[in-house]
Amino acid sequence: MLRLIVLILLLANGAYFAWSQGLLASIGFAPKQHSEPQRMQAQIKPEAIRLLSPTEAKRVEALAAAPAPKAPECLQTPLLTDSQANAAQAVLAAWPSGSWSLNPSSEPSRWIVYMGKYPNAEAVAKKKSELRELGLPFEPLRNAALEPGISLGVYDNQSAASVALANLSKRGVRTAKVLLETPERSGQILKLPAVDEALRVQLEALKPALGSSSLALCKA
């Protein structure tokens, strides 16, 4: 009986081997083919595939990690003096046409409610502490000649500043006065409507001409 079982197993293994190798295909017994020729047809120039050297691989990684180019942006200056505008125009003469413009403009006078001058920064700090206790706001001075001092508000004209001073007096302010911080100014504003990567590298050459005036995003 055992010999019969062994013989049956040997015959079964032989039949499976013959079936798996396609030896029985002629009599209709063969495993199903799973080839997918369409995948080979879908390959795009497989012969072009090559291995990168370590140096090339690092270069590709660096390019992938590099930030995307910054979109062009509009930049402009505050009001420039005539000398600043002329110096900037000399630099910008080499820039592409339409990449910049100088536009006449003006700034109104600035009147402030002013406290000062004080003898030192410590005196200014003490006065600011007193103003905080009264709930009164203050802001930085634009005119360095008025330092050390305090501005309690900025106004377009003297009349508005005088009204503000009268209201502050009712709230306990005794030593303030109305002062012209900066007179009305005329000049030009430089506008760079579309600064791209190529123009950004040229901004450094423009900075000396602008002096203390810096470029900022264009106002809406």
Instruction: Give the start-to-end residue ranges of the domains of the chain.
Output: 73-105+186-217, 109-182
Q: Is 97 helix (H, G, I), strand (E, B) or coil?
A: coil
Report the b/e string of 167-190 with b at 16+ CB within 10 A: ebeeeebeebebbebeeeeebbbb
Mean pLDDT, residues 169-179 taken together:
93
* 69: confidence class by pLDDT, cuts 50, 70, 90: confident
Q: Record the pTM.
A: 0.55
Domain 73-105+186-217 CATH (choose: 3.40.630, 3.50.50, 3.30.70, 3.40.50): 3.30.70
Q: Cβ(77)–Cβ(214) under 8 Å?
A: yes
At residue 56, the pLDDT reads: 78
pLDDT of 74-111, one tens digit each? 999 999 999 999 999 999 999 999 999 999 999 999 99
CATH class label, 109-182: alpha beta
Strands 110-116 and 177-182 turn out to be: antiparallel
Euclidean distance between CA atoms 210 and 79, whole angstroms: 10
Are the folds of 73-105+186-217 and 109-182 the same? yes
Q: Strand 73-76's sheet: what is its strand order?
A: 101-107, 185-195, 73-76, 216-217
Average pLDDT, integer, range 14-43: 61
pLDDT > 70 fraction of the chain, expressed in percent and rounded: 75
Residue 19 clears pLDDT 60, i.e. is over it: no
- In this predicted structure, what is the pLDDT of residue 37? 59
**In this structure, what token pair is assigned to residue 213?**
């005036």
